[in-house]
Structure 1
Amino acid sequence: MKPLVVFADAQAAAADVLRAALTGRLEPYAAGVSVGTRVPGDRSPETPRLPYVLVRKDGDLPHSSMANTRATLRITVWHTDADQAHDLAQLCQGLLIVHSGPVIRGVRPATGPLAAVDDASDTDLSTFTVLANVRPTA
């Protein structure tokens, strides 16, 4: 009989990784950053919630042996201008790529960072995706 295998929440784990790694960073564009897994209701440049980093799981692809799953994580960064959104997105991407821990064992870049403007708030943002290898739990 095969053991029951489940995978932890890669979205929550990535948010925790970024929350911890961004705390105390000296880069000016990282000052006061918040990290979450839900789109903030008010994302206008005037609100003190900027900069904001959103972590969402777009999907995953389990390996046939169930020894690994690869989750696609989409990270979106809202900031006060396009340059700072891009710089913070690049920093977040780098912090995820060098991470290895109990849930996420490794990360590879996939797309971006790509510049955009939030339709709802006209706020500059930058987004990217990474592929995260997630450890199984028996």
Structure 2
Amino acid sequence: MKPLVVFADAQAAGVQILRAALAGRPESYTDGVTVGSLVPGDRSPETPHLPYVLVRKDGDLPHPSMANAKVLLRVTAWHEDADQAHDLAMLCQGLLLVHSGPIIRGVRPVTGPLPAVDDVSLVDVSTFVVNTNVKPVPL
């Protein structure tokens, strides 16, 4: 009989990884950064939500066995200007690429960081996608 396994929430793990890794960073563009999985309702430059990093599951990739799951995570960084949004996104991408832990055991780049403008607030953002390898959890 095959063992029964499930996979933990890669999106929540991505949020936790970046919260911990960004805490206390010396780069000025990380000062006051918030990491979450929901887009803030009021994300204008005048509010204290900036800088903000959003981590969202972007999809699952097929996996041939229950020994590993592949989950795409999209990370978007809002900041006061395009340069700081890019720098924050690049740092987040780097922090994820070197991570190996109890849920996400490996990360590879897929695309980005790419510059954009938030269509609601007109705030500069930078976004990227990574492919995560997620460990199974035996039940």
TM range (shorter): over 0.9
Q: Does 1:34 align with 2:34?
A: yes
Aligned-CA RMSD value: 0.7
SS at match of 2:20: helix
Q: Does 1:128 align with 2:131?
A: no
- Matched AA of 2:44: S
Which position in structure 2 is the counterpart of 1:89? 89
Which position in structure 2 is the counterpart of 1:50? 50
* TM score, norm. by length of structure 2: 0.97
Q: Distance in 1 between matches of 2:61 and 2:88?
A: 28
CA contact (8 A) 1:62 1:68 kept: no
SS at match of 2:113: strand
TM superposition shift of 1:59: 1.1
Gaps of 5+ in 2: none
SS at match of 1:65: coil
- Give every structure 1 segment of 4 or more consecutive aligned residues whose post-TM-superposition deviation is greater than 3 Å: none
Which aligned pairs between 1:92-107 and structure 2 lie closer than 5 A?
92-107=92-107
Which position in structure 1 is the counterpart of 2:70? 70
